Structure 1
Amino acid sequence: MSVRTAPVEIAFDTEEEKVVRVGATVRRPMAASSPSVHALLAHLEAVGFEGAPRVLGVDGRDREILTFVEGETAARPLPAWAVSDETLAALAVLLRRFHDAAESFVPPPGAVWEQGSQADESPELVGHCDVTPENVVFRPGPSGGPLPYALIDFDLARPTTRLFDVVTTLRHWAPIADPIDRDPLQRSMDIGPRLRLFCDAYGLAGRDRLRLLDTARTRLGRSYVATRTRALTLGGDWARRWAGGAGERIRRAGAWLDAHEDELRRHLVGSD
């Protein structure tokens, strides 16, 4: 369990200490997409969605100022509470609440989103597009155990569809991955029932369940291209991920999906 508490001016990202906590705030350098992301976060606050940071402005070093969301994040290897069915269902509910809140957001004229992202056809909303275990803050739930409370790190947010954001989330949390690339406690999991559990908790429509696996295949292909592009153009952590085998992991996930498609589809659209 990784507790997100820290003293003043401690770095979250060791690369040039780009992201730091300053008291009750988080600071990171402004990017071209930051004003658009700030507009989204301001909208979420205005409509009463509590599961995201608040924008407080820009400091004298041209760093965005966001509220620090108190809670815990799941350190790797993921603990049992982070991969439980209860967590998966609660995450689906949190993502649905975020989507419902974001649906009424109108991006500002000339909005810019993170480079390297491929635009979706007929986007429905601005999605998070990076709901990884590192980007979910947990707080104690009704039973006392940690449950998803908030989403953080909206730097990859962009116009997309509900289904595409669902698939991106399931890629990490079901997970849609070859067992060799999953966290230890995920390796023996039966993924089909977990896909069904998430979709049920989210309330995903039947027509979208029919399209989920094809969308996952599209998402993997785009992820391969986007990761390679960011590695070549941005370098840094993206280049390290690529050198560390990110492309191979994406390819293995696609092959695993192809091999298990019929079984997964039965769980998604079959009757109880």
Structure 2
Amino acid sequence: MTAEGDETEGGALVGGMVNAGAVFRRGALVERPAPSTARALHTHLLALEAHGFDAAPTPVRLTADGREQLTFIPGDVALPPFPHWAMTEAALRSVGSLLRRLHEASESIAVDTSVAWPRALADPEGGTMLCHNDVCPDNVVFRDGRATAVIDFDLAAPGRPLWDVAMTARYWVPMLDPVSAEALYPEGLDVPTRLRILSDSYGLSAQERAELPGLIEQATASCRAFVADRVADGDPVYTQVLSERGGWQRWDRMQGWLVAHHEVFTAALLD
């Protein structure tokens, strides 16, 4: 769930799907429903800050009624349909660099293995670093056309850094077939080139680049399962979005397109 709002006034913040209508600006703070992992996430966010990563909200407190308060980060958040300024090559490079900075700090922080971290979008192989798992346009704060902060760690779970890159690529390249992309993204985005830009700006190794296309396919399957679970539970927001965006045929088309272009993406990353 992302948050965007007026920088000087309070009120409801818009964006995202999970906590739609339940996130509010209270002066310098954001108040929102606390995830089940809130205590562990607050510890992690404070540790990120201690390790020099200043591009995430600072937790303030948990309230008695099950909400959390964090510092409000001023800036611009891209909401769908995503505007051109958020999809420039410079913006994409800044996202890759921001994710690398987040991971460099996260790798130094021990993961609390006693916590029941959410598995819905988590790396199926697990890992020793806490991945964000949802670095989508809704969850990145921009200033002057550059990504400056990442918010909403609700789906964070242990995993491999490359899994987080794959999830991020899905949204920011985007790794979508042209029919699916045209509903949310500006026209003319060159997917292979943008996948290379994201990988370069993050600093992937040759081995990681070779693995990335397959991991994106796996991440897309995880995202489909996440939506399926929400729909099965009767979530009205996910049910409506699924219907409006082409139903399960859209997901079948996306996965088929990724598989068909696997070699194209691999060549763009390695050549």
Cα shift readout 1:139-195 (whole Å, capped 9, x = no counterpart): 12xxxxx21000011111111111111011110111100111114654432211111
- Are 2:111 and 2:129, in contact at CA under 8 Å, matched by a contact in 1? no
Corresponding residue of 1:252: 253
Q: Which amino acid aligns with 1:210?
A: A
- Alignment of 1:76 onto 2:75: no
Q: Secondary structure at the match of 2:124?
A: coil
* Structure 1 runs of 4+ with >4 Å offset: 13-16
- Alignment of 1:108 onto 2:109: no
Please, what TM-score do these two structures have when normalized by structure 1? 0.88
- Alignment of 1:228 onto 2:232: no
Q: Following TM superposition, by how much is the alpha carbon of 1:77 offset from its aligned partner in structure 2, in angstroms?
A: 2.4
Q: Secondary structure at the match of 2:261?
A: helix
Q: Which amino acid aligns with 2:134?
A: D
CA distance in 1, matches of 2:180, 2:227: 17
Q: Secondary structure at the match of 2:103?
A: helix
Corresponding residue of 1:143: none
**Per the alignment, do residues 264 and 233 of structure 1 end up closer, same or farther by CA in structure 2, a change over 3 Å counting?**
same
Q: Following TM superposition, by how much is the alpha carbon of 1:103 offset from its aligned partner in structure 2, in angstroms?
A: 0.7
Corresponding residue of 1:12: 14
Q: Secondary structure at the match of 1:208?
A: helix
Q: Following TM superposition, by how much is the alpha carbon of 1:102 offset from its aligned partner in structure 2, in angstroms?
A: 0.6
Corresponding residue of 2:237: 237
**Per the alignment, do residues 236 and 5 of structure 1 end up closer, same or farther by CA in structure 2, a change over 3 Å counting?**
farther
Alignment of 1:173-192 (within 5 A): 173-183=172-182, 186-192=186-192
**Per the alignment, do residues 77 and 232 of structure 1 end up closer, same or farther by CA in structure 2, a change over 3 Å counting?**
same
CA distance in 1, matches of 2:5, 2:47: 28
Q: Following TM superposition, by how much is the alpha carbon of 1:225 offset from its aligned partner in structure 2, in angstroms?
A: 1.3
CA distance in 2, matches of 1:162, 1:109: 17
Number of aligned residue pairs? 264
Corresponding residue of 1:24: 28
- Are 1:73 and 1:136, in contact at CA under 8 Å, matched by a contact in 2? yes
Q: Which amino acid aligns with 2:260?
A: A
Q: Following TM superposition, by how much is the alpha carbon of 1:107 offset from its aligned partner in structure 2, in angstroms?
A: 2.4
Q: Which amino acid aligns with 2:259?
A: D
- Alignment of 1:266 onto 2:267: yes
- Are 1:223 and 1:250, in contact at CA under 8 Å, matched by a contact in 2? no
Q: Which amino acid aligns with 2:261?
A: H
- Are 1:179 and 1:187, in contact at CA under 8 Å, matched by a contact in 2? no
**Per the alignment, do residues 97 and 185 of structure 1 end up closer, same or farther by CA in structure 2, a change over 3 Å counting?**
same
Structure 1: which 5+ runs fail to align?
Answer: 141-145
Corresponding residue of 1:208: 208
Cα shift readout 1:84-112 (whole Å, capped 9, x = no counterpart): 11111111000000000111121235212
- Alignment of 1:39 onto 2:21: no
Q: Give me the CA root mean square deviation.
A: 2.3
**Per the alignment, do residues 48 and 170 of structure 1 end up closer, same or farther by CA in structure 2, a change over 3 Å counting?**
same
Cα shift readout 1:25-51 (whole Å, capped 9, x = no counterpart): 111122312222222211111112011
Identity rate, percent = 31
2:98 to 94, 97, 113: 94
Cα shift readout 1:31-74 (whole Å, capped 9, x = no counterpart): 31222222221111111201100000113433101111111112
- Are 1:26 and 1:67, in contact at CA under 8 Å, matched by a contact in 2? yes
